[in-house]
Every structure is written in C-alpha cells, then in structure tokens.
Amino acid sequence: MFEVILPDGNKIESEISENWLSFIKRVIGEGLAKAAVAVSINDKIVDVTAEVESGNMSVITMKMPEGVAIMRHSASHIMADAVQKLFPGTKVTIGPSIENGFYYDFDSPHRFSVDDFEAIEKKMSEIVKGRFPFMRKVVTKEAAIELFTKMGENYKVEIIEDLGEPFVSLYYHGDFVDLCRGPHVPNTGFIKAFKLMSVAGAYWRGDENRNMLQRIYATAFPNKESLDEYLKMLEEAKERDHRKLGADLDLFTFSENVGGGLVLWTPNGGIVRMVIENFWRKQHVRNGYNLVFTPHIGRSLLWETSGHLGFYKDGMYNPMDIDGEDYYVKPMNCPFHVMLYKRKKWSYREFPFRWAELGTVYRYEKSGTLNGLKRVRGFTQDDAHLFCRLDQLEDEIKRVLDFSLFMLKSFEFESFKLFLSTRPKEYVGEIEVWNRAEGALKDVLEASGLPWEIQEGDGAFYGPKIDINITDSIGRLWQLSTVQVDFNLPERFDISYVGEDGQEHRPIMLHRALLGSIERFFGVLIEHFKGAFPVWLAPVQVAVLPVSEKHAETADKFIQKLVETGIRVKLDDRNEKVGYKIREWSVQKVPYIVVIGDNEADLKTITVRKRGGEQETFTTEDFLAKLNSENFNGVYY
C-alpha cells in the first residue's frame, strides 16, 4: 500500500505495483504522461520509470527549468554516444547540464573542431530518431569498475573509485552506457532541438597537472523556435561583446607587460568611470553613508583573524616581506572596516553605521578564467559595511534594497529577480538570530512586490543573503547587487557595543554591494547599451565639426558655451571632408554631432545630427537646455 499526495492536495491510495509513468496515465491522464520528463517525489527527482512510492508528488515537464535541465543532461549522453561512434578511441569523462546548455569532456586522439559539428549533430539526430529508452541499472561498485575497465574508460573507473559508495547507477540508451545518477528523459526522442556551439580545453577535474581534455559545448531547447530565439540572442550578444566594443570605442585595454586581468582605463573609459563613481559617491552621501578609505595591504594577522588565510588563501597572492612580517594585498575590504569599528567603544544610541568605500582589491584568478572586465585580477568593489542592532536589521535591509533598485534603475535596468539564500547545514551563530535574520530578509522581499525565490541552504556559513539579478536589454540575467548578513566577522574580531542595559552586545554586520565591482558593472553596461551610452554617461557628448578653417572661430565660441555648461565636447578640425568625419563620429556612437558652417555663423540656430542619423534644428539655447536635461538624467549627481 502506498499513498501519493498530488500537488492539489488529493491523496491517491493504491496497492498496484507500477512505475510513475503508468501511475500518471492511470490517475492523471494520457496528455500529462506524454509530457512527463521526470517526477518529483518528496523533493527528490526520479525517472518516470522509477517505482511508485508514498509521498508528495509532482510531474516535471519541459515547461519547467528542472525538466529542461534533465533534457539537456540527456542530450549530453547522446552527444557522447555520437562522438564515440564517429571517433573510435575517444574516452568519456563527465557531461553535465549547465546554464543554457550542456557540455561533455573527451579524451580523444582526434582533435575536435567546429568542422566536426555537422557530422556529430547528424549522428545525434539518428540517435534521437531511434527513440531509444533511457534505462537505469543499479550495480555494485565492483561490477561497475569491471565494466568500465573492460571498456577502457579509465576516467569512469577513477570516478567510481572515489565515490566511496557500495552501489552506483548506470544509464543505457541503445548500445551506449554511462555512469550517471540521473534522472533522464524517458527516451532519446524527447531531445527536439539542439546545436553544438564550441570546443575548448579543460583539465581533468580542473587540475592543471592532469590531462588536458577536449570540451564540446552544446545547447538544447524544448523546440526549434526556442533554439532559434536563443541563437539569435547569441548573435546579438556577439555584437555587444564588451571586449570588442571596449576596443572599438577605446574605453579600456590590457597589456601583457602589465599582466593579465589588470585593466588599463583609457581617457574615454576613465571619463565614464568618473561619472559612475561621482554618481555613486553623491548618492551614498544622500542615503546616509559615510565614505571611508583603507589601505591596499594588511598584515597577515589581520587575514588570520578574519579567516581569509584559512578558507580563501588560494584566491590571495603570495605575501610580501615588510620589516620581517608578511603583508598581503587585500582580496576584500571587510576586515579593514571592522578595524575602523574597533577603534572605539560604541553605544546602542549611535547605531546604525553605514560605511562605504570604492576599494580596489586583488584576487588570484587562473588565466583561463579571465574574461575582459567581467573576470579580472584587480578590481574596485562597490563596497559598504553596515553595523546595526538586531532590532534595526529589517529597516536596514529594506533601505539597502530600495537603494539598490534606485541605483540600477538610474542606469536603465528595469527588470529584476531576487533570490534569498538561507542557512546551510553547517553554520556559525545562534539559530534564533539566523531565524530572525532570514525572517527580516523574507519580509523585505515580500514587501518589495518583485519576483523572488528561496535558494534553500545556499547561504554562506556566516549568514543569509539577498542577491538582485537584473535583466539586460537582450534578456540576459546578471547578478549585481547583494546584501549579506554576517555573524562570523563580529565574532572573530570580538566587536561589541554597550546596550541600553549597560552590557556588551554583539552588533549585526551587513556586507552590501549595489553595482558589484566597477569593472564588471562597466562591462555589463557596455553590452546593455551596445556601447551607445546615454548622454549623461557618454565619454564625448557632442562632437563639433567646422566645415572649414573660416568656421573655426564660430566653432570655438559654440564649444565654449558647451564647456561652460559642463558638457563633454570634442572639436574635430581635421582637414577632412565633413561626411568622412560624420561617419567616424557615428561609429564612435557619440550622442550628438554638430556641423558648423555658413548657416551657423551667428549660432542662433544649429542643425544637430542625433545618434542614429536623424537631424533636427534647434536654437542654441534650446539645445543647451536639452543637453543639460539629459546630462543629469533626471537624478541628482
């Protein structure tokens, strides 16, 4: 006898021995049975061929993220099958689903390239059309090792030996077998639309001392329309790639002589960064923050106390010897802010404290992970740390969330999704304080009216957090803002305040970032605007082009008016045709181009070429008013 509780609360009792697919057909209907990819039973996802058991059950289809992930992982098995059929001697390793797709790592005598993709995709299509069932078989560890040893699959043998489990599961489709926990789609015919994307190198188990494997990336979607839409987005993303646009618009650069992952900001990029940082500082002052500045290095004792040398040393650079002591360049700003707190005794009346810093930090990233501005080794954190009493926590979190949304909306991001990461299995701090902190975060999220999800157990060991994801102009999600509760550092550094009762109490510490890092945010911003920054952010807001030398004086007078108003302007008096200069400045995505010729001699009216090619005639005063309005973007900065 078993009892299955359906999502609507209905309970089904039965003595029939059957699998989930049969159960769904019998109890719910043929339509859902055809769409079923897997089943969730008591929050565990299993194959539809698994035996029915008691508990809370729901059907997973390809309309759900979990269903798409299962389908993509199943597609990785099909790709591995196709590759081994086409390229004998290829050994398989792992093939997980990832965001927007999947990959498989191969050890093969054949050197894969995009030229192989058509043949692999054709073979995959044959396997898909075969509608081979995915069949699960549980065997002993010893039996699995014997099987894969005979097959010459030494990577699978190594994985099994490291599992430390007496039994493992294998998945078969056709004549292909793989070590896998599953689950999988019912048969290969569920893979409707797929495409191989790229080839890259990947060390076995991420260890640069192990074999270099070949990783084939691919993607799969529930239907061709979704795949086509995704591929179209990728093409648009290529055109928006901040690395390409950064070079085209001369915003930033890197130098081998300086070192990988260390950004050199050009005058154009420097202007945009200055505007962003000025806006950031002034908004922080308006929102009750105090700005602080801390050193780039600190004694090893600081990092030992904070715990960084214990759990983050791989991300830190080797120490430098100063006066016989080890000093480290900082990977984070937080220990310095804690030391600012410790400089004196505080009273409960003085809380909260909001200390913000644009602090440059340095973290070791492997060269293969560096990615333009989005993954660098030296970057400036949009950082702040708040110290408050427990009874102030909810108000402070709400203030941070409101401030984050204001900042992001100021840069024309309008779509947000929030995530709450809760207590993991291992944590520090008192359970009552954790519960209250998580409750405060939930209350703020509920009140926000924005879509949000709980990521159970995904919080750091030292506290729960909220992450704010933005959607950019082509629909991609980026995680930028974070507010993180920290019960660890106050304990490690033994910070306290004198409460109303005259006793010492531990304050609550919040880590908070609004934009993330300036470098990564700038990269996202370039791609969001496709390099066509709004007027208030554009490095050059107006390009002035005199037709000939006789118009130079008029152009200078016009430029002087712009400069006095605070507009960033460039004079282009090169001995080139006006049409050529217009094209060049258009490529640079300058918001406005003004040509000064005979018709503009008195500067009463001017013809302005807008970004995109449209022209409009303004009086000089009206154009200046328009510029000033757009330059301040409707917000104080």
Tens digits of per-residue pLDDT, 471-530? 999 989 999 999 999 988 999 999 999 999 999 999 999 999 999 999 999 999 999 999
Instruction: Kindly state whether residue 189 falls inside one of the protein's structural domains.
Output: yes
Q: What are phi and psi of 260, to 5 degrees?
A: -65, 145
- Output the domain CATH number for residue 573: 3.40.50.800
Indicate if the pLDDT at residue 459 is higher than 90.
no
Confidence (pTM): 0.85
Write the CA distances from 204 to 73, 155, 407, 571, 607, integer angstroms: 19, 9, 42, 55, 62
Judgement on whether residues 407 and 470 belong to the same structural domain of the protein: yes
d(CA 462, CA 455): 16
Give residues with Cβ within 8 angstroms of 264, minimum separation 6: 252, 253, 254, 255, 258
Instruction: Kindly state whether residue 593 falls inside one of the protein's structural domains.
Output: yes
Judgement on whether residues 464 and 359 belong to the same structural domain of the protein: yes
Give residues with Cβ within 8 angstroms of 267, minimum separation 6: 539
Indicate if the pLDDT at residue 637 is higher than 70.
no
Judgement on whether residues 93 and 41 belong to the same structural domain of the protein: no
- Whether residue 352 has a cis bond before it, omega within 30° of 0: yes
Instruction: Kindly state whether residue 201 falls inside one of the protein's structural domains.
Output: yes
Instruction: Kindly state whether residue 314 falls inside one of the protein's structural domains.
Output: no
- Two structure tokens written together for 59: 């059907």
What per-residue confidence (pLDDT) applies to 633?
58
Judgement on whether residues 360 and 472 belong to the same structural domain of the protein: yes
Domain count of the fold of the chain? 4
What per-residue confidence (pLDDT) applies to 636?
44
Judgement on whether residues 519 and 588 belong to the same structural domain of the protein: no
Domain boundary among 22, 45, 61: 61
Judgement on whether residues 214 and 172 belong to the same structural domain of the protein: yes
- Output the domain CATH number for residue 148: 3.30.980.10
Per DSSP, what are the bridge partners of residue 170? 137, 179
Indicate if the pLDDT at residue 609 is higher than 90.
yes
Q: What is the pLDDT of residues 51-78, one digit of tens each?
A: 999 999 999 999 999 999 999 999 999 9
Confidence band for 303, pLDDT divided at 50, 70 and 90: very high
Tell me the average pLDDT across 314-342. Answer: 96
Judgement on whether residues 289 and 428 belong to the same structural domain of the protein: yes
With CA atoms as reference, report the closest residue to 617 among 604, 634, 636, 632.
604
Percent of the chain at pLDDT exceeding 70? 99
Write the CA distances from 39 to 50, 78, 169, 185, integer angstroms: 9, 21, 18, 10
Q: What is the pLDDT of residues 138-176, one digit of tens each?
A: 999 999 999 999 999 999 999 999 998 899 999 999 999
What are the residue numbers of the active site? 334, 363, 381, 383, 385, 465, 511
What per-residue confidence (pLDDT) applies to 305?
95
Percent of the chain at pLDDT exceeding 90? 88
- Output the domain CATH number for residue 48: 3.10.20.30
Instruction: Kindly state whether residue 306 falls inside one of the protein's structural domains.
Output: no
With CA atoms as reference, report the closest residue to 332 among 300, 375, 296, 291.
296
d(CA 74, CA 69): 9
Instruction: Kindly state whether residue 566 falls inside one of the protein's structural domains.
Output: yes
Judgement on whether residues 126 and 20 belong to the same structural domain of the protein: no
Judgement on whether residues 604 and 518 belong to the same structural domain of the protein: no
Judgement on whether residues 93 and 23 belong to the same structural domain of the protein: no
Q: What are phi and psi of 344, to 5 degrees?
A: -160, 170
Indicate if the pLDDT at residue 635 is higher than 70.
no
Domain boundary among 14, 31, 61: 61
Instruction: Kindly state whether residue 441 falls inside one of the protein's structural domains.
Output: yes
Write the CA distances from 49 to 21, 36, 201, 418, 563, integer angstroms: 6, 11, 36, 35, 73
Judgement on whether residues 441 and 456 belong to the same structural domain of the protein: yes
Selected residue with higher pLDDT from 367 and 102 = 102
d(CA 168, CA 179): 8
Judgement on whether residues 213 and 269 belong to the same structural domain of the protein: no
d(CA 554, CA 615): 20
d(CA 149, CA 589): 60
* Residues spanned by the domain of 32: 2-61
Q: What is the pLDDT of residues 536-576, one digit of tens each?
A: 999 999 999 999 999 999 999 999 999 998 999 999 999 99
Tell me the average pLDDT across 343-365. Answer: 96
Confidence band for 279, pLDDT divided at 50, 70 and 90: very high
Q: What is the pLDDT of residues 191-243, one digit of tens each?
A: 999 999 999 999 999 888 899 999 999 999 999 999 999 999 999 999 999 99
Indicate if the pLDDT at residue 326 is higher than 90.
yes
d(CA 267, CA 556): 22
What per-residue confidence (pLDDT) applies to 210?
92
Burial class (CB in 10 A: 0-12, 13-18, 19+), 9: exposed
Instruction: Kindly state whether residue 379 falls inside one of the protein's structural domains.
Output: yes
